[in-house]
Amino acid sequence: MTPFGLKLRELRRAKGVSQKQMAASLGVSAAYLSALEHGRRGMPNWVMVQKMIGYFNIIWDEAEELERLAGASHPRVVVDTSGLSPRATELANLLSEGISQLREPDIDGLLQQLRAAIERSK
């Protein structure tokens, strides 16, 4: 499941609607919504995210969060390290090979460290 899929499921359940009901309102199939929730589909396009924001009648921070999560939820990421240092390539490969073995607390810690490092680089 992607972060977007988790948020979508939470919003849908809070509204008390099934995937089938939501899909009919958005003009998509229930299978598509299921695939989004479970991370078997790539990121939805901007138009679909806007339809979902309207469907859930969310505004401001919650709408921005849904847009951000959509952009950060591609289930099959490709990292191009051409032109970067050998250490950057090693990092990308190590993450690719080892991510399935990490525990959630370790992932949380790595995310915090990476976000802080990127922020320091700005």
| Residue 54 belongs to some domain of the structure | yes
Same domain, 90 and 53: no
Q: What is the dihedral sign for C-alpha 17, 65, 42, 103? A: negative
| Residue 98 belongs to some domain of the structure | yes
| Residue 78 belongs to some domain of the structure | no
Same domain, 60 and 27: yes
Specify whether the CB–CB gap between 35 and 41 falls below 8 A.
Answer: yes
| Residue 77 belongs to some domain of the structure | no
Specify whether the CB–CB gap between 88 and 95 falls below 8 A.
Answer: no
Specify whether the CB–CB gap between 55 and 25 falls below 8 A.
Answer: yes
Same domain, 51 and 108: no
| Residue 22 belongs to some domain of the structure | yes
Same domain, 102 and 51: no
**Cα three-residue angle 63-69-74, rounded to 5 degrees:** 145
Domain that holds residue 95: 86-121
- pLDDT tens for the 122 residues of the chain, in order: 889 999 999 999 999 999 999 999 999 999 999 999 998 888 899 999 999 999 999 999 999 999 999 988 887 888 999 999 999 999 999 999 999 999 999 999 999 999 999 999 98
How far is residue 44's CA from residue 91's CA, in Å, rounded to a whole number? 28
How far is residue 94's CA from residue 115's CA, in Å, rounded to a whole number? 18
CATH number at residue 34: 1.10.260.40
In this prediction the pTM is: 0.71
Q: How many CB atoms lie within 10 A of CB 7?
A: 19
**Number of domains present in the structure of the chain:** 2
| Residue 80 belongs to some domain of the structure | no
